[in-house]
Amino acid sequence: MGKTSDLTAVQKTIIDTLHKEGKTQKVIAKEAGCSQSSVSKHINRQAKGREKCGRKKCTSSRDNRTLQRIVTTNPFKNVGEIHKEWTAAGVSASRTTTRRLMKDMGFRCRIPCVKPLLNKKQRKKRLAWAKDKKDWTDAEWSKVMFSDESKFCISFGNQGPRVWRKSGEAQNPRCMRSSVKFPPSVMVWGAMSSAGVGPLCFLRSRVNAAVYQEVLEHFMLPAADQLYGDADFTFQQDLAPAHSAKTTSTWFKDHGIPVLDWPANSPDLNPIENLWGIVKRRMQYARPNNAEELKTTIRATWALITPEQCHRLIESMPRRITAVIEAKGAPTKY
């Protein structure tokens, strides 16, 4: 006669069937060809459910709630700091247990989203702007050329990529990453519409009104010809000092180009911000060695942006505006 764990699938089926028919355990054991104790244990396990195996948990439900409160209250602390605070509360657990429980609770370590800090006045203006534009159609938004500047660095992220290596290869040049205190970077101006992207401008100096007007003359106007031809369009820009200078406003008037009114500190409303994000993600594993190689990589990646991608981003404008209205002018997920 075998143990419960030795019961075959056929024996278990016989036991279950005869038990449902109301047969006694003695009769079931005889029919199944096993011991009566095996029948009893199998029936009890089926009724109660198999008990979990493994070591008993070292933390209670109360301890787990304490951990969840610590993480929720201090989401920017690392695992070591959270573990130290948790054990200081009287909990006896290892750092590995802390990390595992945080994972079981659904917490994941991620790069935080960056949102602009808005004061009450700016939120009010954003809300008013969104309400004014809430009835704009996709066709109206397709007539807007969105623009922005973005900074690109040779090194992306704080730690950079990981490396697969064997023991003893830590100092192997093949497994090492170059480090510089101030990594080379470039500032780029770009523009987009629902029809695609315009040419990029790499800014060599600090952008003042005069420099910005040169960018408009030599890059924005060609972009307008490329994206709109002879059709009318409206230009979008943020409220940077060079953009809102009187001489810049005069430049737009002299060229007959209407400028879209824009709320302050509102990158979440500008679809080109998402486009910059796409470009930087695609460049994540690029390894330019200097500023010129970085520019070449940016140009090549920018050229891969399709009109369909731009069109989808422009189509998101009504949803962005709705989100701002629902948030009462506060920053949104976009």
The distance of Cα 137 from the centroid of its chain, to the nearest Å, equals: 28
Q: Please state, in angstroms and rounded to a whole number, the distance separating the CA atoms of residues 211 and 312.
A: 32
Chain segment 231-274, per-residue pLDDT in tens: 999 999 999 999 999 999 999 999 999 999 999 999 999 999 99
Q: Report the percent of the chain where pLDDT is more than 70.
A: 86
| Residue-by-residue DSSP string for 266-295 | -GGG-HHHHHHHHHHHHTTT----SHHHHH
268: tokens are: 């979440």
Pairing mode, strands 185-193 and 201-203: antiparallel
Within the chain, how many helices (H) and strands (E) appear? 16, 5
- Under a CB-based contact definition with an 8 Å cutoff, are residues 267 and 114 in contact? no
pLDDT recorded at residue 78: 86
| Interatomic CA distance for residues 279 and 170, integer angstroms | 32
Give the position of tokens 């929720």: 72
d(CA 252, CA 221): 11
Choice among 6-20, 41-55, 253-267, 299-313 with the minimum mean pLDDT? 41-55
Residue 217 CA to residue 223 CA, distance in Å, equals 10
Q: What is the Cα–Cα distance from 320 to 271, expressed in whole angstroms? A: 9
pTM of the shown model: 0.66
Q: State mean pLDDT over 37-48.
A: 81
Six token digits for residue 242: 């060079």
User: Which element (helix H / strand E) includes 321?
Assistant: helix 317-326
Q: How is 34-99 classified by DSSP, letter by letter?
A: S-HHHHHHHHHHHHH-PPPPSPPPSS-HHHHHHHHHHHHH-TTS-HHHHHHHHHHTT----HHHHH
> Tokens 């657990």 label which residue?
93
According to the model, what pLDDT value does residue 108 have?
83
pLDDT digits (tens, 9 = 90+) for 156-171: 544 445 555 557 756 6
Residues 207, 105: Cα–Cα separation, whole Å = 47
pLDDT for residue 77: 86
Q: What are phi and psi of 221, to 5 degrees?
A: -65, -45
Least confident of 10-19, 97-106, 146-155, 158-167: 158-167
pLDDT, mean of residues 206-235: 96
The values of phi and psi at residue 253, to 5°, are -65, -40
Q: What is the pLDDT of residues 60-75, one digit of tens each?
A: 999 999 999 998 888 8
Structure token pair of residue 212: 């910005």
- The first and second tokens of residue 278, run together, are 């796409």
* Residues making up the chain, counted from first to last: 334
**How far is it, in rounded angstroms, from Cα 83 to Cα 60?**
16
Phi and psi at residue 246, in whole multiples of 5°? -60, -40
Q: Classify the C-alpha dihedral 20-22-26-31 as positive or negative.
A: negative
